[in-house]
């Protein structure tokens, strides 16, 4: 039996943080939005990371399947990316004029991403989804945006919901919501809003929280693409989360269609802070016309890191490598669950797998099993997809399956 972790230093740090920082840890890395329930099962602060591993403040080691919620694609502290970043840092980073490494990065993205004729850089995923929607509105001179229910495109007011704190009715009054994979409903919405829809914004497949992740239905993307073409609507793919974990040329390419605009962030530079909006030629003037920039958006170090990251992802055939590792883990987890009579559903593309124990619709049983995994050194979270990184070894997968087995055993015993 494995040692069961405890987190006294994490708890003390969180208590201190709560006095100084709103929510202590806000957003997706905090216990509330990160869905760290039961909260006592989870560490809250890390002390260091290397490859596939994360150490918490109490010195407990985890095989980390959250990968910083995506950015860790090659392994923490990847030597090639870090060396490229260090070389650039020795020359310049945040300066009055941009460094031409920015142009090199754009060049590499245009060469790599199937629908890209240009690249525009920012810092976070939200920056580029916002830039994409503004571009579509500037180009079409229309107001309305179509979303698929279950989406997440960041935190700007346009992408939040009417009942969220701080959001005005006006912020979201041009938003239209349709059911993922329901083309008839989408067509109806287009009929009712003729000549008013600027864009459809969508993840390449439905990788939302609290629900099994859903791939596009056969022919779905082809029909959406045609509908957008026929109505002069801009098709935006939000590849912030899935980007480069399905296809190095973009997730639209993986599913056999071409986006007009595509948003990247998480896996773009292995943790260095940069995001990119790429798009087709006909939208280049519209992006240029926006008033949209930021203090650190042209920093050179993340561009150098991004170049090294994409080059290495290409050398490793990274998306396939991640899908293969994810498939191995997925099959092992399903078989382990079955041994104890549990029906573990693993959905989404295996490089971004989503877990749910289907035997209990309240999801409490699932939370119990996740908690027992976390307390033994496998960092899963409850109702969010997970992320495979390229440094994950076969031994890590074996170790994960052993821990998952022990966690199922504990849960089974408790409920027998």
Q: Which residues bind ligand PLP (CB under 6 A)?
A: 124-126, 129, 152-154, 203, 238, 240-241, 265
Q: Are strands 378-379 and 234-238 parallel, antiparallel or unpaired?
A: unpaired
Nearer to ligand PLP, 152 or 257 (CB): 152
Structure tokens at 34: 């990160």
Strands in 367-411 per DSSP E: 378-379
**Minimum gap (Å) between residue 27 Cβ and ligand PLP:** 8
Cβ-contact 18, 12 below 8 angstroms: no
Q: How far apart are CA 378 and CA 372, in angstroms?
A: 9
Nearer to ligand PLP, 92 or 156 (CB): 156
- In whole angstroms, how large is the CA radius of gyration of the chain? 22
- Closest by CA to 348, choosing from 219, 209, 224, 200, is 209
Nearer to ligand PLP, 85 or 276 (CB): 276
The DSSP letter of residue 224 is H
**Can you tell me whether residue 146 is helix, strand or coil?**
strand
Farthest CA pair distance, the chain: 66
Q: How far apart are CA 109 and CA 352, in angstroms?
A: 22
**Minimum gap (Å) between residue 205 Cβ and ligand PLP:** 11
**Minimum gap (Å) between residue 167 Cβ and ligand PLP:** 16
Nearer to ligand PLP, 68 or 371 (CB): 68
The DSSP letter of residue 400 is H
Nearer to ligand PLP, 326 or 377 (CB): 326
- Closest by CA to 153, choosing from 203, 107, 211, is 203
**Minimum gap (Å) between residue 152 Cβ and ligand PLP:** 5
Task: Output the residue with the shortest Cβ distance to ligand PLP.
Answer: 125
**Minimum gap (Å) between residue 384 Cβ and ligand PLP:** 9
**Minimum gap (Å) between residue 211 Cβ and ligand PLP:** 14
Nearer to ligand PLP, 7 or 76 (CB): 76
Nearer to ligand PLP, 67 or 401 (CB): 67
Nearer to ligand PLP, 153 or 386 (CB): 153
Structure tokens at 84: 């490229």
Q: How far apart are CA 190 and CA 178, in angstroms?
A: 11
**Minimum gap (Å) between residue 392 Cβ and ligand PLP:** 20
**Minimum gap (Å) between residue 239 Cβ and ligand PLP:** 8
Q: What is the 3-state secondary structure (H, E, C) of 273-335?
A: CCEEEEECHHHHHHHHCCCCCCCCCCCHHHHHHHHHHHHHHHHHCHHHHHHHHHHHHHHHHHH
Q: Are strands 46-50 and 53-56 parallel, antiparallel or unpaired?
A: antiparallel
């Amino acid at each position: 039996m494995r040692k069961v972790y405890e987190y006294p230093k994490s708890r003390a740090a969180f208590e201190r943080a709560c006095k100084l920082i709103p929510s202590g840890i806000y957003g997706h890395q905090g216990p509330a939005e990160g869905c760290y329930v039961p909260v006592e099962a989870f560490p809250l602060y890390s002390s260091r990371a290397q490859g596939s591993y994360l150490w918490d403040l109490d010195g407990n080691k985890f095989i980390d399947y959250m990968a910083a919620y995506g950015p860790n694609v090659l392994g923490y502290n990847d030597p090639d990316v870090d060396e490229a970043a260090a070389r650039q840092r020795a020359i310049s980073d945040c300066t009055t004029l941009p460094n031409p490494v920015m142009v090199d990065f754009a060049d590499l993205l245009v060469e790599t991403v199937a629908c890209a004729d240009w690249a525009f850089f920012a810092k976070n995923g939200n920056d580029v989804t916002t830039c994409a929607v503004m571009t579509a509105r500037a180009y079409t001179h229309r107001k309305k945006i179509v979303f698929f229910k279950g989406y997440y495109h960041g935190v700007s007011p346009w992408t939040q919901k009417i009942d969220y704190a701080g959001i005005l009715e006006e912020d979201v009054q041009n938003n239209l919501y349709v059911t993922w994979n329901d083309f008839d409903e989408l067509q109806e919405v287009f009929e009712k809003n003729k000549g008013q829809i600027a864009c459809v914004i969508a993840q390449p497949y439905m990788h939302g929280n609290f629900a099994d992740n859903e791939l596009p239905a056969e022919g779905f993307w082809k029909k959406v693409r045609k509908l957008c073409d026929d109505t002069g609507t801009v098709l935006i793919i939000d590849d912030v989360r899935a980007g480069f974990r399905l296809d190095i040329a973009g997730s639209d390419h993986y599913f056999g269609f071409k986006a007009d605009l595509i948003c990247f962030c998480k896996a773009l530079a292995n943790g260095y802070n940069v995001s990119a909006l790429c798009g087709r030629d006909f939208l280049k003037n519209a992006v240029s016309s926006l008033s949209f920039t930021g203090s650190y958006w042209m920093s050179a170090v993340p561009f150098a890191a991004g170049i090294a990251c994409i080059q290495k992802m290409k050398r490793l055939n990274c998306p396939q490598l991640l899908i293969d590792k994810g498939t191995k883990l997925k099959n092992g987890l399903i078989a382990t669950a079955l041994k104890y009579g549990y029906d573990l559903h693993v959905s989404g593309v295996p490089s971004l797998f989503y877990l749910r124990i289907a035997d209990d619709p309240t999801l409490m049983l699932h939370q119990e099993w996740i908690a027992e995994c976390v307390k033994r050194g496998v960092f899963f979270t409850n109702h969010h997809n997970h992320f495979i990184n390229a440094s994950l070894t076969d031994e890590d997968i074996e170790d994960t399956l052993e821990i998952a087995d022990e966690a199922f055993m504990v849960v089974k015993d408790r409920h027998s």
